Structure 1
Amino acid sequence: MILFSTLYFFMPAYIANSIPPLLHRFKLFSYLAVPVDFKKEFLGKRIFGDHKTIRGVLGIFFIGFILCFLFFEINSDFRVYEYVGRNSLLFCALYSLGIIFGDLLFAFIKRRLNLKPGAVFIPFDQTNYVIGVFILTQWLVQLDLYVWGIIWIQTFVLHTVFNRFGYYLGLHNAKW
């Protein structure tokens, strides 16, 4: 049951995290395909890189927020947590921002380590958004750390498997 519960809890993030490559592939909202760092540098290195765009950030936020609301508010009988204050709009906003925060945080770290966009950074490429959602929502949802551990491992495995499928189908450039 815990695996199903954690899968349900993180499904909005899994779907939202897949939105930027889809927007890019189908050239949707191309006018928003502007680097979120506006090509600025920090200590002589790009802050995030060209792969992190306003289009991707907005796509993740809106899809993540809508799915989070649908998953947790409309289906209120099924919860993996009891959140403090029962403010679903706040929770969904933080949840969606957490997906983005984790992605941008590790893009920033990769640039500091001289890793180019798309370079291997296992296991963080696969799980950065779990860490971001944890940082921004844990004070509100108060999940046990072992639940977050399950989410982290589950995300790593699912991300790796689905990226392999995408790679072999020609939809993704990297196996990881």
Structure 2
Amino acid sequence: MVVSLVAGALWAMLPAYVPNNAAVLAGGGHPIDGGRTVDGRRLLGDGKTWRGTAVGTVAGVALAMALNAVRTGAAGALGADLPVFSLRAALGLALGAMLGDIGASFLKRRLGRERGAAVPGLDQLDFVVGALLLAAVLAPTWTLATFSPARLAVIALATPLLHVTTNAGAYLLGLKSEPW
């Protein structure tokens, strides 16, 4: 039962977990804020680009569709009830993850934090909140049926661990300039 719960929760969030990683790989290009400032501070910073946002969103949606294709076999192998992603749910999770990260960047700039500065909690869960909120707007029935309180608890516990691990790996591979 625990394996089924964890597998279902992580499966449901995979389209939200991937976009920011894809954005790091494809990043660069024109910053979303166009260099604009408020109170002498960048609105978002150079790390939030149109290309990274687009590539991250497309990667998350594509992953959701690929997961749909392998769902039956994976559900049998994992012994878990795995959700099927509607296109609206996939878009909500992927774009919402990107928007959550962009929102956190905006907050960090208002707090006077520079690009790459750590803000524990915000850094690990910003994209989860954005993903769940936009999925709830675009696919409310799917979101309510998919994210039980137990799955949300697993996501809240597992995401910070996954976030720290993947960021440390990206840092070691030279893909990120800081390990958080």
TM-score category of the 2 structures, normalised to the smaller one: 0.7 to 0.9
CA distance in 2, matches of 1:162, 1:110: 21
Indicate the residue corresponding to 2:57 in structure 1.
61
Match of 1:50 among 17, 28, 46: 46
State the shift of 1:157 in Å: 0.2
1:108 is the counterpart of 2:111 = no
CA distance in 2, matches of 1:163, 1:172: 8
**TM-score, scaled relative to structure 2:** 0.79
CA distance in 2, matches of 1:35, 1:96: 19
Aligned-pair identity in percent equals 28
Return closer, same or farther for 1:34/1:157 CA change in 2, 3 Å cut-off. Answer: same
State the shift of 1:103 in Å: 0.6
1:74 is the counterpart of 2:69 = yes
State the shift of 1:159 in Å: 1.3
State the shift of 1:49 in Å: 1.1
Match of 1:10 among 13, 37, 40: 13
Indicate the residue corresponding to 1:159 in structure 2.
163
Q: Which runs of 5+ in 2 are unaligned?
A: 76-80
Return closer, same or farther for 1:60/1:166 CA change in 2, 3 Å cut-off. Answer: closer
**TM-score, scaled relative to structure 1:** 0.81
State the shift of 1:23 in Å: 1.8
In structure 2, what residue type is equivalent to 1:117?
R
State the shift of 1:170 in Å: 3.8
Q: Summarize the alignment of residues 28-43 of structure 1 with structure 2, pairs less than 5 Å apart.
A: 33-43=29-39
Q: For the aligned residues, what is the CA RMSD?
A: 2.2
Higher RCO, 1 or 2 (CA under 8 Å, sep at least 6)? 2
Count of aligned pairs = 164
Match of 1:148 among 149, 152, 155: 152
